[in-house]
Amino acid sequence: MTTEATRKIPKVCHVTTPSGGSVALPTICSQETFDDAINFKFSENDVIIRTYPKSGTTWMMNIIYLITHHGKPIPGGTFLEDHFLFCETSGKERLLHHQGSPFRFFQTHIHADHMKFNKLSKYVCVVRNPKDVCVSFFHHTNALKDLYGVTEMDFVSYFQLFVEGKTDFGSYFDHVTAALSHRDDANILFILYEDMLADTRSAVLKVARFLGQDYLEQVQDEDVMKSVLEHSSFAAMFKNKEQLSHTTRDDVCAVIRKGIVGDWKSFMTQQQAGIIDEMTRKHELDHLWKDFQ
């Protein structure tokens, strides 16, 4: 008999969406916090990072913080995620009273079609190749044993959950397809994780331009740009990983692992990779990575 101590299937919290459907969220969420998040009205000075999990959320948070603070990293003793409220766990009161200048920062993994949309807010959408997302999400789940209630989940089992859309936050493909439907909106910045890694300087300029002309001019100062690139590098983030998330335990940070492209090759069989490739084509997403084959 499988006990809680030896379970291989991650525990999740199922909530009802506005359309009457159901989606799985982490157990730190509830129907109440989900409803608070999807009904929250963002304002014109809000910046929302909206991603599917393990797609570069923390990296983008760090880049945006650095851009808006003249390249200076978060102060010692503070956490990056405290500056970017996680909408689906924060609750109504914390969302309402969140402060920030010049912007209030938020992050969410909630499906784009489930949340209220403000044409005056700024949304940053980072998308990553699904094969690397699957592998990174697998390690994330095993790293957060207390949250997911698993001992050591095997990749074969996790892969099946991922392709069936049964991980927390649901189907990667539905999530990204919904995000892509808004990619041409003026207040949305759509950026590939792989592009960020290939040319981080250009990515920083793109994000700064999106945030406003003042920030673009700041990062065009070579000293500021150098500081942004230095403190947003994976080497720097690994060194200061305790400041990235409250969930860092025993020198393992669940929100950052390798930060590379192609790590899926160390875990997936050709058959598994083929399954995801076929799903990517079916959802007409394969063109996103044509330059990274």
Domain limits, the chain: 4-292
Residue 201 banded pLDDT, cuts 50, 70, 90? very high
Counted residue by residue, the chain has a size of 293
Q: What is the pLDDT of residue 107?
A: 96
Confidence (pTM): 0.91
Cα separation values, 120 from 44, 48, 94, 144, 180, Å: 5, 11, 21, 36, 19
Peptide bond into 26 cis (omega under 30): no
Q: Which of the pair, 239 or 156, is modelled with greater confidence?
A: 156
Is the pLDDT confidence value at 209 over 50? Answer: yes
Q: Alpha-carbon dihedral of residues 54, 55, 57, 60, nearest 10 degrees?
A: 150
Q: Is 178 exposed, middle or buried (0-12, 13-18, 19+ CB in 10 A)?
A: middle
Cα separation of 110 and 13, whole Å? 14
Helix (H, G, I), strand (E, B) or coil at 192: strand
**Hey, what are 93's tokens?**
């009161």
Q: Which of the pair, 210 or 153, is modelled with greater confidence?
A: 210
How many Cβ atoms from other residues are within 10 Å of residue 65's Cβ?
20
**Mean of the pLDDT values across residues 253-262?**
68
**Mean of the pLDDT values across residues 199-228?**
97
User: Whole-angstrom distance between the N-terminal and C-terminal Cα of the chain?
Assistant: 44
Query: Are the C-beta atoms of 70 and 219 separated by less than 8 Å?
Result: no
112-121 confidence digits (pLDDT tens): 999 989 999 9
CB-based contacts of 271: which residues, under 8 Å, 6+ apart? none
Cα separation of 29 and 16, whole Å? 12
Residue 110 banded pLDDT, cuts 50, 70, 90? very high
The CATH superfamily label for domain 4-292 reads P-loop containing nucleotide triphosphate hydrolases (3.40.50.300)
Q: What is the pLDDT of residue 82?
A: 87
